[in-house]
Amino acid sequence: MAKIILTGDRPTGRLHLGHYVGSLRRRVELQNSGEYDEIYIMIADAQALTDNFDNPDKIRDNIIEVALDYLSAGLDPDKANIFIQSAVPELTELTFYYSNLVTLSRLERNPTVKTEIQLRNFETSIPVGFLTYPISQTSDITAFKATTVPVGEDQLPMLEQAREIVRKFNSTYGETLVEAQALLPDNKICSRLPGTDGKAKMSKSLGNCIYLSDTPEEVSKKVMSMFTDPNHLKVSDPGSLEGNTVFTYLDAFAKDEHFAKYAPDYKNLQEMKEHYQRGGLGDVKVKRLLINVLEEELAPIRARRAELQKDIPAVYEILKKGTDIARKKAGETLSEVKAAMRINYFDDEELIKSQQEKFNG
């Protein structure tokens, strides 16, 4: 069976380091591994509208931001089709048919949806489109016959729901759809990078993000004000690593080579951590290291973005081409789905012939 990747992001803002370590960096590696037959990366504007229906310009303006982030982080349009969800109407059609296979109580039990409903104060009146977005996400995954969906941990309930719908579809209408597997980040820290304030998650609304497109000055300012150990007042005080965001980020980004270059007093992160815990190592020194480490990763991304930004029509052309390819594939799957569901009247010569005979003998 072909190995196919599908994944995507809601275009509600520029992408930040949480997106980067949680999935973007991995996608680029998967793309370059050459192990996958097809790769689809979706800008999920229709899904973003399920909780931003009253702010369409926010979504509209962020399509290009996300596309620029993708390309500057290393996604290569020759290897990965980048496309816009709403421009593939076949996905919406699939969603309509899949919704027959899901109960309201199952949707209400989805833990990701539950948390998001609380976050958005939707408890008293949930938009139907929001509640049903896991069905639409199932269409995204199945339309491309994806086998592998690289996502963060928070998306596991979506994958589970998708797999249930696939099983229900296949048992009702015959083997048609593929059950996809989630591919999680390979380490815990990357699964959920905390915000610069130490809060559980980077989130635009909390203002605790470092963006891929931040300038060196912005990165440095954000790192310098990062949450560390509030009891580590004097350099000589022993410091704690627990919930110490600067060290969490170093866990996610630092390699041994960085120490030789930027903090030669230590062989590796472990040695630096031990010094911090003993006392005698100040936060500023650790933060300076982190700035250097982040800059190594971000400088090439920033430079590619600066180039890409010079030709915005070319970026839209990439999206257009990716979308055309995505539509073709989704159209093929939709035809198979309709055939399995016995609603392919016009392409079924047998149907017309047999009914002609039925009525005329």
CB atoms within 10 A of CB 241: 16
By the rule CB under 6 A, 10 interacts with ligand TRP: yes
Please check whether residue 269 is in contact with residue 210, taking contact to mean a CB–CB distance below 8 angstroms: no
Tokens matching residue 154: 């928070």
The least distance separating ligand TRP from the CB of residue 237, rounded to whole angstroms, comes to 40
Among 5, 21, 28, 44, binds ligand TRP (CB under 6 A): 44
CB 193, min distance to ligand TRP, A: 14
Q: Going residue by residue from 123 to 142, which x/- string records binding to ligand TRP, judged by CB under 6 A?
A: --------------x--xx-
Residue 13 engages ligand TRP in binding (rule: CB under 6 A)? no
Coil, strand, or helix at residue 8?
strand
The SS3 of residue 140 is helix
Helix %, strand %, coil % of the chain (to 5): 60, 5, 35
Stretches 8-16, 193-201, 303-311, 345-353: which one binds ligand TRP (CB under 6 A)? Answer: 8-16
Q: Which CB sits closer to ligand TRP, 206 or 303? A: 206
C-alpha 41/C-alpha 77 separation (Å) is 10
Of 3-11, 55-63, 66-74, 229-237, the segment contacting ligand TRP by CB under 6 A is 3-11
Rule CB under 6 A: which of 140-159 touch ligand TRP?
Answer: 140-141, 149, 151, 155
Q: What is the CA radius of gyration of the chain?
A: 24
**Paired tokens of 150:** 């690289």
The residues, any chain, with a CB within 8 Å of residue 1's CB and separated by 6 or more, are 147, 178
Indicate whether 24 belongs to the interface with ligand TRP (CB under 6 A): no
323 contacts ligand TRP (rule: CB under 6 A): no
Can you give the binding site for ligand TRP, defined by CB under 6 A? 6-10, 44, 47, 137, 140-141, 149, 151, 155
